[in-house]
Structure 1
Amino acid sequence: MGSKRLCRARSLTSFHVSLCFLLLMVLGAFPLQVLGAETSIVIGLTGDAESLDPHVTAISTTGSYQANIFETLIYRGPNLEEKPGLAVSWEPEGENAWIFHLRKGVKFHNGEPFNAQVAKWALDRAKTHPKSLTKGQLAQVKEVQVVDDYTIRLVTYGPSPDIPRNMFNVYIVPMRYLQEVGDEVFGRKPVGTGPYKFVEWIKDQHVKLERWEEYWGPKPPIKYVTYRPIPEDATRVAALLRGEIDVAEAVPVVDIPRIERSPNARVIRKPGLRLIYLAFDTKRKFGGPPPEGSPGIPEGQPNPFLDKRVRQAIYYGVNEDELLQYVMEGSGQAAAQMIPPPVFGYIPDLERYPYDPEKAKKLLAEAGYPQGFSVRLDTPNDRYINDEELAVAIAGQLKKIGLNVTVNAQPRAIFFPKLMRQYENSFHLSGWAGSIGAYNLLALVGCFDKKTGFGRANYGQYCNPELDEVIKTINRTIDPKERMKYFRKAAEIIHEEVPKIPLHYQELIVGISNKFDMDVRVDEQIWAKEIKPRE
Structure 2
Amino acid sequence: MVSSRKLVGIVIAIIVIIGAVVFITTYRGAPQEVPKVTSPTSPVVTMTTPRPITTPTTPTQPITPATPPVTTKDELRVAIGTDLDTLDPHDQTTSLVDNVIMHVCERLFDRDEKGNLVPMLATKLEVSSDGLVYTIYLRQGVKFHNGEVLTADTVKLNFDRIFNATAKKRLSTYLPNVKSYRVVNESVFEITLSKPFSPFAMSLSLVYIVAKEAIIKYGDVLPREPKALICTGPFRMVEWVKGTRVVLERFDGYWEGIVPLKRIVFYIVPEEATREAMLLAGDVDLVFWPSLASLQRLSQTPGIKIVQYPTYRYVMLHFNFDYPAFQDKRVRLAFNYALDKETIVSKIFYGTATIVKSPWQIGMFGYSDVGYYKYDPEKAKQLLAEAGFKAGPDGVLTHPQYGKLSIKMVHMKGRFPGDVELAQAVQGYLRNIGVEVELVTGDWPWYINTIYSSPADKAKNGYWLFQRSWGPSIPDPYYTVFFLYSCNMWVGPANMTHKGINLTTAGRNIGYYCNPEFDKILDQYIVETNEAKRLELAAAMAKILWDDAPAVFLFQLNIFVAAKSNLEGLIFVPGEMIYLGKAYFK
TM-score interval (norm. to shorter): 0.7 to 0.9
Matched, 1:150 2:164: no
Find 2:82's aligned residue among 44, 47, 53: 47
CA offsets, 1:15-60, max 9 Å, x none?
xxxxxxxxxxxxxxxxxx9977772211111122112111122211
Identify if the C-alpha distance between structure 1 residues 492 and 454 changes in structure 2 by more than 3 Å, giving closer, same or farther. farther
Cα contact 2:315–2:554 (8 A) shared by 1:
yes
Deviation at 1:194, TM superposition (A): 0.8
> Does 1:200 find its partner at 2:239?
yes
Partner of 2:62: none
Residue 92 in 1 paired to residue 127 in 2?
yes
TM superposition shift of 1:454: 10
CA contact (8 A) 1:339 1:345 kept: no
Against the structure 1 CA distance between its residues 36 and 258, is the aligned structure 2 distance closer, same or farther, given a 3 Å change threshold? closer
**What TM-score results when the alignment is normalised by the length of structure 1?**
0.85
Instruction: Give, as a single letter, the amino acid of the residue that structure 1 aligns with 2:406.
Output: S
Q: Is 1:446 the counterpart of 2:486 in the alignment?
A: yes
Query: CA deviation digits over 1:204-234, x for unaligned, max 9?
Result: 2221112211111143221211111111101
Counterpart residue type for residue 575 of structure 2: D
Cα deviation, residue 336, structure 1: 2.2
Instruction: Name the SS for the 1:238 alignment partner.
Output: helix
8 Å Cα contact 1:52-1:65 kept in structure 2: no
1:154-187 superposed Cα distances (whole Å, 9 cap, x missing partner): 2112222211211222211222332112321563
Q: Does 1:61 align with 2:96?
A: yes
Question: Could you list the per-position Cα deviations for residues 253-306 of structure 1 after superposition, in whole angstroms to 9, with x for gaps in the alignment?
Answer: 111123112211110012221000001111x25xxxxxxxxxxxxxxxxx2011
Alignment pair present for 1:476 and 2:476: no
Q: Which residue of 1 aligns with 2:413?
A: 381
Runs of 4+ aligned residues of structure 1 deviating over 6 Å after TM superposition are: 33-38, 450-455
Partners of 2:98 and 2:369 in 1: CA distance: 33
Q: Distance in 2 between matches of 1:402 and 1:196?
A: 53
Deviation at 1:82, TM superposition (A): 2.1
Query: How many pairs align?
Result: 483
Q: Counterpart in 2 of 1:299?
A: none
Alignment of 1:306-385 (within 5 A): 306-346=327-367, 348-371=368-391, 372=397, 373-385=405-417
Letter in 2 for 1:115: T
Instruction: Give me the whole-angstrom Cα distance separating, in 2, the residues matched to 1:365 and 1:210.
Output: 60
1:117 aligned onto 2:149: no
Unmatched tracts of structure 2, length 5 or more: 1-67, 392-396, 398-404, 495-501
Contact 2:355/2:554, CA 8 A, preserved across alignment: yes
Residues 187 and 78 of structure 1, relative CA distance in 2, 3 Å threshold: farther
Contact 2:409-2:437 at 8 Å conserved across structures: yes
Say which is worse superposed, 464-473 or 517-526, in terms of deviation.
Answer: 517-526
Q: Which residue of 1 aligns with 2:441?
A: 409
Where 1:511 maps in the other structure, the secondary structure is strand
In the TM superposition, 1:1-400 aligns within 5 A as 39-95=74-130, 96-128=132-164, 130=167, 132-185=169-222, 187-189=224-226, 190-282=229-321, 284=322, 303-346=324-367, 348-371=368-391, 372=397, 373-400=405-432
Deviations 1:369-419 (A, max 9, x none): 233322222211221221121111122212232222222233323222111
Match of 1:478, SS? Answer: coil
Q: How has the CA–CA distance of structure 1 residues 177 and 317 changed in structure 2, closer, same or farther, with 3 Å as cutoff?
A: closer
**Number of the residue aligned with 2:583:** 531
SS of the residue corresponding to residue 560 of structure 2 reads: strand
Letter in 2 for 1:358: E
Q: TM-score, normalised by structure 2?
A: 0.78
**What amino acid sits opposite 1:370 in the alignment?**
K
1:431 aligns with 2:431: no
Give the match for residue 510 of structure 1.
Answer: 561
Equivalent position to 1:486, from 520, 523, 537: 537
SS at match of 2:572: coil
| Residue pair 1:136, 1:439 contacting (<8 A) in 2 also | no
Amino acid at match of 1:364: L
SS in 2 for 1:456: coil
**Deviation at residue 471 of structure 1 after TM alignment:** 1.6
- Which structure would you say has the larger Rg? 1
For residues 459-480 of structure 1, what are the alpha-carbon distances to aligned partners after superposition, in whole Å with 9 as ceiling and x for unaligned? 1011122212222222111111
Change over 3 Å in CA distance of 1:519–1:68 after alignment to 2: closer
Q: Which residue is equivalent to 1:298?
A: none
CA distance in 1, matches of 2:426, 2:572: 30
**1:339-364 deviations in Å (ceiling 9; x for gaps):** 21222232x23222222222222221
Structure 1: tracts of 5 or more residues without a match: 1-32, 286-302
| CA root-mean-square deviation | 2.2
3-state DSSP class of the match of 1:322?
helix
Tell me the percent identity.
27
Name the structure where helix makes up a greater proportion of residues. Answer: 1
Measure how far apart 1:78 and its partner are.
4.3
Between the aligned partners of 2:205 and 2:298, the Cα distance in structure 1 is 33
> What letter matches 1:444 in structure 2?
L
CA distance in 1, matches of 2:245, 2:506: 32
Q: CA deviation at 1:490?
A: 0.9
What do the CA deviations read for 1:434-472 (whole angstroms, capped 9, x no partner)? 123212111111114469979822110111222122222
- Distance, in Å, in 2 between the alignment partners of 1:143 and 1:116 is 14
1:150 CA displacement: 1.0
Could you say if the C-alpha distance between residues 49 and 131 of structure 1 is closer, same or farther in structure 2, counting changes exceeding 3 Å? farther
* Partner of residue 17, structure 1: none
Determine if contact 2:71/2:585 at 8 Å carries over to the other structure.
Answer: no
Change (3 A) 1:35 1:275: closer
Give the C-alpha shift of residue 508 in structure 1.
1.0
Contact 2:71 2:260 survives alignment (8 Å): no
Aligned 8 A contact 2:84 2:445 in 1: no
Task: Determine the C-alpha separation between the residues in 2 that align with 1:118 and 1:269.
Answer: 38
Secondary structure in structure 1 of the residue aligned to 2:102: helix
How far apart in 1 are the matches of 2:549 and 2:146? Answer: 49
